[in-house]
Amino acid sequence: MIPALVVFAYLGVVLYIGIFAFRRAGGGEHAESYFLANRSLGQYVFLLSLFGTNMTAFTILGSAGHAFSNGIVTYGLMASSSAFLIPLTLYLFGTRVWSLGKRFGFMTPVQMYRDRWECGHIGTAIFAVQATLLVPYIVIAVMGGGTTLSAVSGGVVPYWFGGLVVAAVVMSYVFFGGMRGTAWVNTFQTVLFLVFGAAAILFIGVSIGGFPQAMERLLANPETAPLLTRERVPPAFFFSYMLIPLSTIMFPHISIFCLTARRMGQFKKTIIFYPLCILAIWLPCTFLGLTANAMTDVPAIESKLEARAELAAGREDLSPAEAAGLQREAAGDDVIILMLEHYAPLWLAGLLGAGIMAAVMASDSQILALSTMFTEDVFAYYGGAQRFGPAVQVQTGRLFVVLIALVAYAIALQAPPGIFGIAVQYAFSGFTTLMPLLVAALFWRRSTKWGALAVVLWTAATMTAVAVLQAVVPAPAPGTVVPVWTLAGLDIVTRTPGGTAVLGYMPVLPMLIGSSLLMVVVSLLTPPPAAATVARYFPPTHPRRIPG
């Protein structure tokens, strides 16, 4: 229990920082203060908290678990494209969102869409879809907290209790601290993980006698040698993963975080240092997940390898319940913690576990974003703020924080293992499909609210179809696919071990193509917004006069 007690002590420190930060600032009963920290975050708090809120259980535990099953290709799937696309979208879209928020007083993306397209209830539909897509991202944080505490305590702390503790701590400091408390906590957690993450990879490397020896063992084994290549991920599927980082700027908590910067210039350093931060976190996590395949001296990891081998054998005598049990056993979300538990002293394992928990708990910004959107886009929009006042508006947001934390915890108890797959298949794919909303609102004056509605309905329909398909058709054994829709001998839709594929690509590719076409076609067929509204977003440019 020593590592678990260290992690519990860390949670107490985080709780104090989150609450103290906001009380020190004062003014907590005003919406802009509670939800946006008065748009006054400084350079380094803005950089570290923006990065920290995007590095969640998906990055730390999910990437290691995916690398454990699929190899070093995990880094190429997400980290390499993210290091380029996320800073690019922050530059192209984040700066303009900040500028419009500063000029017109927007606190949420939906407020911008409503004003830009002169839409009311369509804005509510956008909120509903964004809120639904954000819930899986919050769920994986609760799953990561339960997994971490259970692993560092050697199973003494059960998964359900670990998830409950994380949900309660995050809910508490978001409830009291708002955006300022959340930003300070994320800054602290980002620094903590960067330091302890580097310590973890160095300590494990020394304990196992060096990583080159581990790589040689993997290469010498025919079953693990493909983990050092891209062999387990087909080229089409690999290519379509490059679209996933486009979802980052569409996440409400990222868009809202862009509004908290004090000055436009703060985006410059953020764009420069963001790729370096991605390298510092993704590389050790994926590398440790890959290396875990050579750690046969760790009993828990050896059990995972045996379970994975049974699944790969395709035994027909396995019942659905037995197959599901083997999938849970083979899941690699906790391999980094198991390695720390085996190789590190108890006190160091506790500190490093606290560092992992620092990244796992980044669901705070997502919960606050949902609270902000609900109070601004539903409660205030339909007259609640005018009728009851700003203090009640903030209290409503706090109650919504409690509700979201409870819903996420309840879902996390029933969710299947595989943090990486849950995030990619649902949250990331859905927000990437919504990307035409932001592009059209900021750069296409002819776009209309009906085009926006078509994008929202398409996203809801396709995400529902993916969820139903994956619920009806069980995941096949690793290395196999199950055809779902075949036309003229061509497999159109297939069920894969990690989710669903369309013509060999991730569903996000046809989903994004469909939403883009709908935005263009429907907008051209429907009347544009009023000329005065368009002029506010696209001021007319006058040619420069030449003297004489």
- What the block records as the tokens of 36 is 């946006």
Type of residue at 475: A
C-alpha span between 208 and 214 (Å, rounded): 8
Nearest to 427 by CA among 400, 403, 459: 459
Cβ atoms of 332 and 292 within 8 Å: the answer is: yes
Residue pointed to by tokens 């955006």: 179
Residue the block writes with tokens 């019942």 = 319
d(CA 112, CA 105): 9
Amino acid occupying residue 87? P
Q: What is the pTM of this model?
A: 0.82
**Helix-, strand-, coil-residue percentages of the chain, each rounded to 5:** 75, 5, 20
What pLDDT does residue 80 have? 83
Q: Walk along the chain (548 residues) and give the pLDDT tens digit of each residue.
A: 677 777 778 778 877 777 776 565 554 456 666 666 676 677 777 777 777 777 666 777 778 888 898 888 888 888 888 888 989 998 899 999 999 998 998 889 999 999 999 988 999 999 999 988 888 777 777 777 777 777 777 778 888 887 888 778 877 777 777 777 777 777 777 777 777 767 777 777 777 777 788 888 888 888 888 888 887 778 888 888 888 889 889 988 888 888 888 888 888 888 888 888 888 878 888 888 898 898 888 888 888 888 888 877 766 677 777 777 777 788 777 788 788 778 777 767 677 677 667 666 666 678 888 888 888 888 888 888 778 877 787 788 888 878 888 887 887 777 665 555 565 567 788 899 999 999 999 999 999 999 999 999 999 999 999 888 888 887 776 667 889 888 888 889 998 877 788 988 989 999 999 999 999 999 999 999 999 999 999 887 655 554 44
DSSP line for 210-266: -HHHHHHHHHHSTTTGGGGSSTTS-HHHHHHGGGGGGGGGGSHHHHHHHTTBSSTTH
pLDDT for the residue numbered 365? 75
518, 451 Cβ separation under 8 angstroms:
yes
Pull the structure tokens for residue 141: 């944080």
| pLDDT of amino acid 512 | 95
Distance CA 142, CA 409 (A): 6
Q: Give first-to-last CA distance, the chain, whole Å.
A: 84
Domain 2-433, CATH homologous superfamily name and number: Sodium/glucose cotransporter (1.20.1730.10)
DSSP character at residue 502? E
In the prediction, which pLDDT does 361 show? Answer: 66
In one letter, which amino acid is 193?
F
Provide the b/e sequence for 14-37 (b: ≥16 CB within 10 Å): bbebbbebbeebeebeebbbbbbb
Check residue 548 and give its pLDDT.
Answer: 42
Domain ranges of the chain: 2-433
Torsions phi, psi for 135 (to 5 deg): -60, -45
Going by C-alpha positions, the residue among 271, 254, 265, 278 that lies closest to residue 87 is 271
Residue with tokens 């380029």: 84
Task: Label residue 191 exposed, middle or buried (CB < 10 Å: 0-12, 13-18, 19+).
Answer: middle
Structure tokens at 392: 């009640």
- The two three-digit tokens of residue 339, written as one number: 């390695």
Q: Indicate the DSSP class of residue 292.
A: G
Instruction: Assess contact for 5 and 350: CB atoms under 8 A.
Output: yes
Q: What is the per-residue pLDDT for 334?
A: 79
The residues facing 41 across adjacent strands are 261
Q: Which of 18, 338, 56 is nearest to 193 (CA)?
A: 56
Q: How far apart are CA 113 and CA 533, in angstroms?
A: 12
